[in-house]
Amino acid sequence: MEETVNQIVRLLQGDYGLSKRAVALLLLQGDEEIFALVEEKDGKETAELIKQILREVKGGGERSPLYRITMVRQRFSEYIAGKVIEEVETKPITISDRLNDLLIHPLWGTLFLLVLLYFGFYQFVGVFAAGTLVELLEDKIFGNYILPPIERFFNWLIPWALLRGLFVGEYGIFTLGIRYAIALLLPIVTAFFLVFSLVEDSGYFPRLALLVDRLFKKIGLSGRAVIPMVLGFGCDTMATLVTRILETRRERIIATLLLALAIPCSAQLGVMMATVSKVKGGILVWALFVFSVFLLIGYLTSRLLPGEKPRFFIEVVPLRVPKLDNVLVKTWTRLQWYLLEVTPLFILASVLIWLGQITHIFDLIIAALSYPVQWVGLPKEVATVILFGFFRRDYGAAGLLDMVEKGAIGGIDLVTTAIILTLFVPCIAQFLMMVREHGWLIAAKIAGFIFPFAFLCGYIARQLLLLLSQFGLFG
In the complex, the residues that contact other proteins under the rule CB under 8 A are 2, 16-19, 21-22, 25-26, 29, 31, 33, 66, 70-81, 83-91, 200-203, 205-206, 224, 227, 231, 241-242, 244-247, 249, 252, 314-315, 317-318, 320, 323, 326, 329-330, 333-334, 429, 432-433, 435-439
Tell me how far apart the alpha carbons of residues 275 and 397 are, in angstroms, rounded to a whole number: 8
d(CA 452, CA 420): 10
Taking the C-alpha atoms of residue 339 and residue 173, their distance in angstroms, rounded to an integer, is 15
SS3 344: helix
Helices (H), 392-427: 393-405, 411-423
Query: For other proteins, which is the closer residue by CB, 31 or 135?
Result: 31
Question: Which CB atom, from 116 or from 127, has the smaller least distance to other proteins?
Answer: 116
Minimum CB separation from other proteins for residue 357, in Å? 28
We find the least distance from the C-beta atom of residue 46 to other proteins, in angstroms, to be 18
Our CB check for other proteins shows the closer of 77 and 374 to be 77
Torsion angle of alpha carbons 342, 346, 349, 354, nearest 10°? -170
Nearest to other proteins of 65, 458 (CB atom): 65
Residue whose C-alpha is closest to residue 279's, from 119, 416, 471: 416
Nearer to other proteins, 247 or 405 (CB): 247
Contact 190, 332 (CB under 8 A): no
Nearest CA among 181, 172, 170, 174 for reference residue 137: 181
429, with CB counted inside 10 A (0-12, 13-18, 19+), is middle
Residues in Cβ contact with 431 at an 8 Å cutoff, skipping those fewer than 6 apart? 260, 425, 443, 447
Q: Which is nearer to other proteins, 254 or 457 (CB)?
A: 254
Q: How far is the CB of 470 from other proteins (least distance, A)?
A: 46
CB nearer to other proteins: pick between 21 and 380? 21
**CA–CA distance, 265 with 394 (Å, rounded to integer):** 9
Residue type (1 letter), 327: V
Contact (CB, 8 A) for 286 and 253: no
Residues 257, 220: contact at Cβ < 8 Å?
no
Nearer to other proteins, 135 or 247 (CB): 247
* Shortest CB 359 distance to other proteins, Å: 26
Reference 348, options 395, 301, 278; nearest CA is 395
Residue 438 CB, nearest distance to other proteins (Å)?
A: 7
In the three-class reduction of DSSP (H, G, I as helix; E, B as strand; rest coil), residue 94 is classed as: coil
Name the minimum Å distance from CB 26 to other proteins.
6
- Judged by beta carbon, residue 227 or residue 401, the one nearer other proteins is 227
Q: How far is the CB of 353 from other proteins (least distance, A)?
A: 23
DSSP state of 427: B
Work out how close the CB of 265 gets to other proteins at its nearest, in angstroms, rounded to a whole number.
15
Residues 6+ apart with CB under 8 A from 104: 207, 210, 211
Enumerate residues 6+ apart whose C-beta is below 8 A from 315: 206
For the CB of residue 215, give the shortest distance to other proteins in the complex, in Å: 19
Is residue 250 within 8 A of residue 301, CB to CB? The reply is: no
Nearer to other proteins, 179 or 330 (CB): 330
Quote the least distance from Cβ 31 to other proteins, whole Å.
Answer: 6
